[in-house]
Structure 1
Amino acid sequence: MSVPQPPEPIPGARLLFSLDPAVSHLNHGSFGAVPIGVQRAQQRLRDEMEANPLRFFAQGLIDRITHTRRHLADFLGADADGTALVANATTGVAVVLQSLGLRPGDEVLTTDHGYGAVGFSVARECRRTGAVTRALRVPLAATDEEVVQVVRAGLRPGRTRLLVVDQLTSATARLFPVAAIVAVAREHGVPVLVDAAHAPGMLPTAVRSIGADFWVGNLHKWGYAPRGTAVLVVAPPWRDRVEPLVVSWEQESGFPGRVEWQATMDYTSWLAAPVGLFTLRSLGVDRIRTHNATLAAYGQRVVGDALGVSPTDLPDPGGPGVAMRIVPLPRGVATTLDAARALRTRIAERLAAEVAVMAWGGQGWLRLCGQVYNRTDEYERLAVRLPPLLAQR
């Protein structure tokens, strides 16, 4: 089978970013990259804040946050009155967990594809409350129907107080059928929290159509917003029960204000976020999505070929538009979290390439992303240089 054709570069897109040109930035999914125009918009807001802090915080800031929230919610197809701005998806998860009122004997159900920090948050809340957590094993190559069946079989009505499921997994770059999962959970009376950290900007997401009780997503990855910009969307029955991690002056205003207002936090990342969406729209949202997904597939195939991986053994993300792909590493390489971190550092230092290295299912995986600032030769260069580096172990 031939290597898939890479997409045509989007003219001028690379110049929109201030990334170090001496490094191949192939891991947009971890921390994103903020366009220069968005950086400048945030700096202007910071200058305004520092010119007169009292006026910035005391005169109209809540209205500006509300306006920003409505803009972002509209882009995501979410109810603005049920959407709160938060620092990141993990923060949103923590807000939900501590608002549930878990008790001894309750259960929080996850999958083995879940994000590590979310798993830590679930474990801590269970320790604090006496609840327990359980992870469902979902095979990497499972079909959507099989994923739903795994979830259906794993639910324990009356005991499972929350199901946490990823829309697009971080460790395995796998798209889950979250709307179908939510429907099954609802049949059993189990609330669902969808961790959609990678969805905003990458996937054509209409949050309302998913129907989850809780949905969290980052705008600072694929939405070109400054870091520290995410949303927590809450269904109407839960809004009065959601409490912030820190109580401040908007506590009596209810959700979402009580979650958003954290006193003297720097809100400029939120206020500049619409400029990120403007950048996205200026380049063409569908155009970017197609470009990035096609480029990630090309990179997966090129690097996979170099590592001797058959095309049939390269994991399929389970849907179009996914701009992250994983490649299995040789047997015994990066099979633990510490080993994966060490290999990522070696690749960064010796190959001048930023990638993600994951340890999942007893196997090491290389995760590659596609973004408008990437070029085909960056994946090709990695493909040439990575095998000798791995051979040195």
Structure 2
Amino acid sequence: MSTPGQQPPDPIPGARLLFSLDPAVAHLNHGSYGAVPIGVQRAQQRLRDETESNPMRFFVRGLTDRISHSRRHLATFLGADPAGTALIGNATAGAAIVLQSVRLNSGDEVIVTDHGYGAVLFAAERECRRTGAVVRTLSVPQTATDPEIVEIVRAGLRPGRTKLLIVDQITSPTARLFPAAAIVPVAREAGVPVLVDAAHAPGMLPDPVAAIGADFWMGNLHKWGYAPRGTAVLSVAPRWRGRIEPLVVSWEQQSGFPSNVEYQATLDYTPWLAAPVGVFTLRTLGVDTVRAHNAALAAYGQRVVGAALGLGPEALPDPGGPTVSMRLVPLPPGVATSVDEAVALRNRISDQLRTEVAVSAWGGRGFLRLSGQVYNRPDEYDRLAERLPALLAELA
């Protein structure tokens, strides 16, 4: 199906063998739950075995030091200050921590965009119900340029009332790199703190924390950083660190941030302790090589699937950056225009085509989101392109 100028990247030798994914399934949705390399799985299993061989020793002999060591390793990889970075279970937990720590009051507002992740919006709505604040959503057209996005945000801020701005670094439903680095200083001029939801940035973008300079930054490492699931970080600017409160109070409460957020008694800490092995795996393959490969492969998938649906290059959304490893393909009008319909279509593609993809309903339109990862092959996108039109015709 390839045409000149649309050739996929060369595979990275041996990379596919690093994963234990079912070879009978095309896994084209790395962006949702990631895939843990076999070496990382084994490192985590050794840690589980260590825990069960002597739980008392594991939890009371140097555990906090081991967590700190892992945190320093991961924070350095992300370009973050280890002293201002806490390991957390996932980015959504980070949102809840920040929302309760900014101490909203009646009459305050939290601003989000319509490209945000649903669970983060739910967290903001819950905290606002509890405190009497309100959530206000800024509408950003999918085709908006970076300067236009910045101006939409600038116009939406209300100094004195807006107590928190939540923006994505890479959006989940629309797979778009947002100009977060340009938005942060605009908000700072208005006296508004910024929480950057960077769930997809670790491993995909270089130095994603240092490049932004936000008040709060949260990102998952299980997606593009090859870490076990349950590994994420919350990075906090110095002026806010003394105000951060954990969701659960435990024995490290008096130590302050980040230890009071990280330590939660008998939590399973093995994902965090094994996470540096994931970063090591990424570095062994070559970080820049992996980023370029994944972005090029996702672009290839977008082109061939889009062409199969009758979409030319001009109709395919631009991700906004050269290393973004997820791409959107607009679905025919009337297909997957609600969350329930999107879930149903995703499951049908999984069951009938043996292909895992993400399907989202955004702005009254259904979209297919394709990811590119080192274990993917071009023929997996080709097969989806060949078979998807017939499945969509059945729906029509």
Aligned length: 393
1:342 is the counterpart of 2:350: no
Residue 211 of structure 1 and its aligned partner are, at CA, apart by: 1.1
Q: What secondary structure is seen at the aligned counterpart in 2 of 1:208?
A: coil
> Whole-Å Cα distance in 1 between the matches of residues 200 and 158 of structure 2?
28
Q: Quote the Cα distance in structure 1 between the aligned partners of 2:133 and 2:302.
A: 40
Paired amino acid for 2:239: P
| Cα separation, 2, equivalents of 1:274 and 1:56 | 19
Indicate conservation of the 8 Å contact 2:291/2:325, yes or no.
yes
Identity %: 75
The Cα offsets for residues 34-93 of structure 1, whole Å up to 9 and x where unpaired, read as 000000000000000000000000000000000000000000000000000000000001
Cα offset for 1:3? 5.2
Residue matched to 1:29: 31
Counterparts of 1:240 and 1:263, CA distance in 2: 22
Counterpart in the other structure of 2:75: 73
Quote the residue 2:246 is aligned against. 244
In structure 2, C-alpha distance between the alignment counterparts of 1:212 and 1:381, rounded to whole Å = 42
TM-score (norm 2): 0.98
- Report if the CA contact (8 A) 2:111-2:138 is conserved: yes
Q: List alignment gaps of at least 5 residues for structure 1.
A: none
Unmatched runs of 5 consecutive residues or more in structure 2: none
SS in structure 2 of the partner of residue 392 of structure 1: helix
Aligned partners of 2:340 and 2:243: how far apart in 1?
A: 39
Matched position secondary structure for 1:142: coil
Q: State the AA in 1 paired with 2:317.
A: P
* Aligned positions of 1:138-153 closer than 5 A: 138-153=140-155
State the alpha-carbon separation in 2 of the partners of residues 248 and 294 from structure 1.
Answer: 45
* Pick aligned residue for 1:326 from 303, 328, 352: 328
**TM-score for the superposition, normalised by structure 1:** 0.99
Tell me the residue number matched to 1:210. 212
Alpha-carbon distance in structure 1 between the residues aligned to 2:286 and 2:132: 49
Which amino acid in 2 is paired with 1:47? D
1:221 & 1:318 partners in 2: Cα distance? 19
Structure-1 separation of matches of 2:76 and 2:388: 42
Work out whether residues 109 and 163 of structure 1, in 8 Å CA contact, stay in contact via their aligned partners in 2: yes
Distance 2:95 2:104 in 1: 14
Please tell me the root mean square deviation across aligned C-alpha atoms, in Å: 0.8
Deviations 1:263-294 (A, max 9, x none): 10000000000000000000000000000000
The 1-side partners of 2:128 and 2:33 are apart by 28
Q: What displacement does 1:122 show?
A: 0.6
- Correspondence list, 1:1-393, <5 A: 2=4, 4-393=6-395
1:383: how far off? 0.2
The letter of the residue matching 1:214 is F
Structure 1 position 205, deviation (Å): 2.5
Partner SS for 1:210: coil
- Work out whether residues 3 and 302 of structure 1, in 8 Å CA contact, stay in contact via their aligned partners in 2: no
Q: Which amino acid aligns with 2:253?
A: Q
Q: What amino acid is the match of 1:236?
A: P
Offset at residue 209 of structure 1 (A): 3.1
